[in-house]
Amino acid sequence: MDEQPSSKTWGKPIKCRAAVSRQPGEPLVIEEITVAPPMAREVRIRIVCTSLCHSDVTFWKMKDYPAIFPRIFGHEAMGIVESVGEGVDEVTEGDSVIPFFMSDCGECIDCRSKKSNLCSNLPFKVSPYMHRHETSRFTDLKGEVLYHFLFVSSFSEYTVVDIAHVTKIDPSIPPNRECLLSCGVSTGVGAAWRTANVETGSTVAIFGLGSIGLAVAEGARLCGATKIIGVDLNPDKFEIGKKFGVTEFVNAGECGNKTVSQVINEITGGGADYCFECVGLASLVQEAYACCRKGWGKTIVVGVDKPGSKLSLSSFDVLHSGKTLMGSLFGGLKAKTDIPILLKRYLDKELQLDEFVTHEVKFEDINKAFDLLIKGESLRCVIWMDK
Q: Which residues sit at the interface with Zn ion, rule CB under 5 A? A: 53, 55, 105, 108, 111, 119, 121, 183
Q: Which string of DSSP letters, residue by residue, matches 264-313?
A: HHHHHTS-BSEEEE-S--HHHHHHHHHTBPTTT-EEEE-S---TT-----
* Smallest distance from Zn ion to CB 366, Å: 16
Contact of 104 with 164, CB cutoff 8 Å? yes
Phi, psi of 282 (to 5 degrees): -55, -35
Nearest to 80 by CA among 175, 211, 150, 1: 175
Distance CA 273, CA 299 (A): 9
Contact of 375 with 369, CB cutoff 8 Å? no
Longest dimension (CA), the chain: 76
Q: Which does 203 bind (CB under 5 to 8 A by kind): ligand NAD, Zn ion, none?
A: none
Residues 71-130 that bind ligand NAD (CB under 6 A): none
Which DSSP category does 71 fall into?
B
Distance CA 262, CA 241 (A): 22
The smaller minimum CB distance to Zn ion, of residues 121 and 358, is found at 121
Site string for ligand NAD, 295-324 (x = CB under 6 A): -------xxx--------------------
The smaller minimum CB distance to ligand NAD, of residues 154 and 328, is found at 328
Q: Which of 21, 50, 55, 182 contacts ligand NAD by CB under 6 A? A: 55
Q: Which of 237, 298, 323, 334 contacts ligand NAD by CB under 6 A? A: 237
Q: Which does 231 bind (CB under 5 to 8 A by kind): ligand NAD, Zn ion, none?
A: ligand NAD
Q: Which does 198 bind (CB under 5 to 8 A by kind): ligand NAD, Zn ion, none?
A: none
Contacts of 69 (CB under 8 A, 6+ apart): 21, 22, 23, 24, 147
Q: How many residues bind ligand NAD (CB under 6 A)?
A: 33
* Smallest distance from ligand NAD to CB 250, Å: 9
Contact of 333 with 115, CB cutoff 8 Å? no
* Smallest distance from Zn ion to CB 112, Å: 8
* Smallest distance from ligand NAD to CB 320, Å: 27
Residue in the shown chain whose Cβ atom is closest to ligand NAD:
210
List of residues contacting ligand NAD (CB under 6 A): 53-55, 58, 183-184, 187, 207-213, 231-234, 237, 252, 278-281, 284, 302-304, 328-330, 373, 376
